[in-house]
Amino acid sequence: MEFSMKDFWNGSRRALARAITIVENEQDGYEEIMKEIYHHTGRAQVIGVTGAPGAGKSTLSDNLVKFYRKMGKTVGVCAIDPTSPFSGGAILGDRIRMNDLTLDQGVYIRSMGTRGSLGGLSRKTADAVKLMDAWGLDVIFIETVGVGQSEVDIVKNADTTLVVLVPGLGDDIQAIKAGILEIGDVFTINKCDRDGADRLNVEIEMMLDLGEAQDWRPPIERTIANEGQGIEDVVNGLNEHRKYLEESGLLEERRRERVRTEMAEMIHDRISRHVMKEITETGKFADYVEQVYERQTDPYTVVDSIVGDIFK
């Protein structure tokens, strides 16, 4: 299929799907697409869903999407699963929990592999979200891979982060270690059909008390996602947080910060690609490696001279 921006703006799902592919693979023309859509982004409410593997993120997202659909919103889901570092392949299985949504034309679901990125998202997640936003989806969920740690990327990409915890996993301690409590704007204790929800609740409250007092106190909801219980409470929590972000001016602050980090990353990326291309193509890099390996020189001197040469 030929891709055309006209189809994209006319609401073709095929065109949205193809645009994400082109951008994800950095195929020819991807920058033109991003340039054209950028002005139309910033409308959607972006919600991150994170938590340990198997905590119920996808099942919960499925239910949350249905709830927002009942409120008349169109919804996008960007579901990330880990790419195998060995083969570069991935099994993307989050959709299994969202099969009911597949035929709803007001919902767009896209699965992505992390493709070497470590922060729980893929490097192109932010762009995929922007494409969904510009295409006109009202609410966008990002489901991170469940590595249970260093999921901080989600904070940079979402307006509101929902952290899903499960009782009885020793999750509480893990969560504290991983810094997951700091990133939650709303918490839910999922799998409340199991023992230990009260205890986990107390532990989260205690940890939140230890932190610096903030204007926003993250609510702790309870859900049984596979039975659809507690969903409304989570939605209320998310919407409360949205209201808080808007009224406090924090939404603008977070989004401005996002622009800043995004641009810094792009500059970093562009420069390092340029430099690496330059020195690998001329064969200089291999020579330098050899010289450093032989201890004829040291990496600090070499890097100074490489970077100095290019940016004189």
Ligand X SMILES: Nc1nc2c(ncn2[C@@H]2O[C@H](COP(=O)(O)OP(=O)(O)OP(=O)(O)O)[C@@H](O)[C@H]2O)c(=O)[nH]1
Which spans of this chain sit near another protein (rule: CB under 8 A)?
1, 13-14, 17-18, 20-21, 25-28, 83-84, 86-93, 95-96, 99, 102-103, 108-111, 113, 115
What are the residues facing 165 on neighbouring strands?
Answer: 189
Crossing angle of helices 30-38 and 13-24, rounded to 10°: 120
- Per CB under 6 A, which of residues 225..254 are in contact with ligand X? 225-226
CB of 263 to another protein, least distance (A): 21
Q: Which residue has the tokens 């009782």?
A: 167
Among 193, 198, 247, 298, binds ligand X (CB under 6 A): 193
In angstroms and rounded to an integer, the radius of gyration of the C-alpha atoms of the chain is 22
Is 62 a binder of Mg ion (CB under 5 A)?
no
Q: Cα separation of 90 and 252, whole Å?
A: 35
Q: Which two tokens stand for residue 5?
A: 């921006």
55 binds ligand X (CB under 6 A): yes
Contact at 8 Å (CB) between 139 and 44?
yes
Residue 58: CB minimum distance to Mg ion, A: 3
First to last CA, the chain: 45
Pick 31 or 247: Cβ nearer another protein = 31
Q: Which of 178, 145, 102, 127 is nearest to 20 (CA)?
A: 127
Indicate the residue among 128 and 164 with the shorter CB distance to ligand X.
Answer: 164
Given a contact cutoff of 8 angstroms between Cβ atoms, the answer to whether 60 and 190 are in contact is yes
Q: Which does 102 bind (CB under 5 to 8 A by kind): Mg ion, ligand X, another protein, none?
A: another protein
In the complex, residue closest to ligand X by CB: 146
What does 200 interact with, of another protein, Mg ion, ligand X, none (CB < 5 to 8 A by kind)? none
The string of DSSP letters for 9-52 reads HTT-HHHHHHHHHHHHTT-TTHHHHHHHHHTT-S-SEEEEEEES
**How many residues contact ligand X, by CB under 6 A?**
17
* x/- track of binding to ligand X for residues 144-183 (CB under 6 A): --x-------------------------------------
Task: Name which position in 94, 153, 159, 172 contacts Mg ion (CB under 5 A).
Answer: 94
Q: CB–CB of 230/191 below 8 Å?
A: no
At a CB cut-off of 8 Å and minimum separation 6, what does 303 contact? none
CB nearer to another protein: pick between 86 and 300: 86
Does 98 help bind ligand X (rule: CB under 6 A)?
no
Closest CA to 47 of 64, 27, 34: 64
54 touches which of Mg ion, ligand X, another protein, none (CB within 5 to 8 A by kind)? ligand X
Work out whether 125 is an interface residue with ligand X (CB under 6 A).
no
User: Contact, 143 vs 64, CB < 8 A?
Assistant: no
State the residues that interact with Mg ion by CB under 5 A: 57-58, 94
State the residues that interact with ligand X by CB under 6 A: 51, 53-59, 94, 97, 146, 190-191, 193, 224-226
